[in-house]
Amino acid sequence: MAKFSVDRLERMIRINTIEAFLCTREAVLRMSTARTPHGGAIMNASSIAARSGDPHQYVDYAASKGAMDVMTLGPAKEVAAEGIRVNAMRPVS
Protein backbone atom coordinates (compact mmCIF):
# COMPACT_ATOMS: atom_id res chain seq x y z
CA MET A 1 0.00 0.00 0.00
CA ALA A 2 2.88 2.34 0.63
CA LYS A 3 3.55 2.63 -3.11
CA PHE A 4 0.05 3.87 -4.00
CA SER A 5 -0.18 7.55 -4.83
CA VAL A 6 -3.19 9.69 -4.02
CA ASP A 7 -3.53 10.38 -7.77
CA ARG A 8 -3.79 6.66 -8.52
CA LEU A 9 -6.35 6.14 -5.75
CA GLU A 10 -8.45 9.11 -6.87
CA ARG A 11 -8.38 7.90 -10.48
CA MET A 12 -9.43 4.38 -9.50
CA ILE A 13 -12.29 5.60 -7.32
CA ARG A 14 -13.40 8.13 -9.94
CA ILE A 15 -13.52 5.57 -12.75
CA ASN A 16 -14.86 2.52 -10.92
CA THR A 17 -17.07 4.22 -8.34
CA ILE A 18 -18.12 7.79 -9.10
CA GLU A 19 -18.59 7.36 -12.85
CA ALA A 20 -20.45 4.08 -12.37
CA PHE A 21 -22.70 5.76 -9.80
CA LEU A 22 -23.49 8.58 -12.22
CA CYS A 23 -24.28 6.11 -15.02
CA THR A 24 -26.61 4.17 -12.71
CA ARG A 25 -28.36 7.39 -11.72
CA GLU A 26 -28.95 8.34 -15.36
CA ALA A 27 -30.15 4.83 -16.25
CA VAL A 28 -32.66 4.86 -13.38
CA LEU A 29 -34.02 8.20 -14.54
CA ARG A 30 -34.60 6.80 -18.03
CA MET A 31 -35.78 3.26 -17.14
CA SER A 32 -38.21 3.99 -14.33
CA THR A 33 -41.77 2.85 -15.00
CA ALA A 34 -42.72 6.39 -14.05
CA ARG A 35 -41.32 7.37 -17.47
CA THR A 36 -41.67 4.20 -19.55
CA PRO A 37 -43.90 1.14 -19.24
CA HIS A 38 -40.99 -1.25 -19.76
CA GLY A 39 -38.63 -0.75 -16.82
CA GLY A 40 -35.15 -2.11 -17.48
CA ALA A 41 -32.01 -3.75 -16.22
CA ILE A 42 -28.66 -2.38 -15.11
CA MET A 43 -25.62 -4.64 -15.15
CA ASN A 44 -22.55 -3.63 -13.17
CA ALA A 45 -19.08 -5.14 -13.49
CA SER A 46 -17.63 -6.25 -10.18
CA SER A 47 -14.54 -8.35 -9.50
CA ILE A 48 -13.43 -11.23 -7.32
CA ALA A 49 -10.97 -8.65 -5.96
CA ALA A 50 -13.91 -7.12 -4.06
CA ARG A 51 -13.94 -10.28 -1.93
CA SER A 52 -10.21 -11.03 -1.77
CA GLY A 53 -8.91 -7.50 -1.22
CA ASP A 54 -6.20 -8.22 -3.80
CA PRO A 55 -3.31 -7.59 -1.40
CA HIS A 56 0.14 -6.33 -2.43
CA GLN A 57 -0.86 -5.00 -5.81
CA TYR A 58 -4.42 -3.78 -6.42
CA VAL A 59 -5.99 -2.85 -3.08
CA ASP A 60 -7.32 0.40 -4.56
CA TYR A 61 -8.98 -1.52 -7.38
CA ALA A 62 -10.44 -4.04 -4.92
CA ALA A 63 -11.84 -1.21 -2.80
CA SER A 64 -13.48 0.39 -5.82
CA LYS A 65 -15.08 -2.94 -6.79
CA GLY A 66 -16.28 -3.43 -3.21
CA ALA A 67 -18.00 -0.07 -3.60
CA MET A 68 -19.51 -1.38 -6.85
CA ASP A 69 -21.04 -4.28 -4.93
CA VAL A 70 -22.72 -1.84 -2.55
CA MET A 71 -23.79 0.35 -5.47
CA THR A 72 -25.49 -2.71 -6.93
CA LEU A 73 -27.23 -3.95 -3.79
CA GLY A 74 -28.53 -0.56 -2.62
CA PRO A 75 -30.06 0.56 -5.92
CA ALA A 76 -31.43 -2.95 -6.56
CA LYS A 77 -33.52 -2.61 -3.41
CA GLU A 78 -34.35 1.03 -4.08
CA VAL A 79 -35.61 0.80 -7.67
CA ALA A 80 -37.13 -2.69 -7.88
CA ALA A 81 -40.61 -1.21 -7.45
CA GLU A 82 -39.92 0.98 -10.49
CA GLY A 83 -39.43 -2.08 -12.72
CA ILE A 84 -35.63 -1.88 -12.74
CA ARG A 85 -33.37 -4.82 -11.94
CA VAL A 86 -29.80 -4.06 -10.85
CA ASN A 87 -27.26 -6.88 -10.91
CA ALA A 88 -23.51 -7.30 -11.01
CA MET A 89 -21.34 -9.88 -12.66
CA ARG A 90 -18.18 -11.01 -10.92
CA PRO A 91 -15.95 -13.06 -13.23
CA VAL A 92 -13.80 -15.63 -11.46
CA SER A 93 -10.64 -17.24 -12.70
Which positions are annotated as active-site residues? Answer: 61
Would you give the distance in Å from CA 68 to the centre of its chain?
A: 3
Strand, helix or coil at 40?
strand
First-last CA distance in the chain: 24
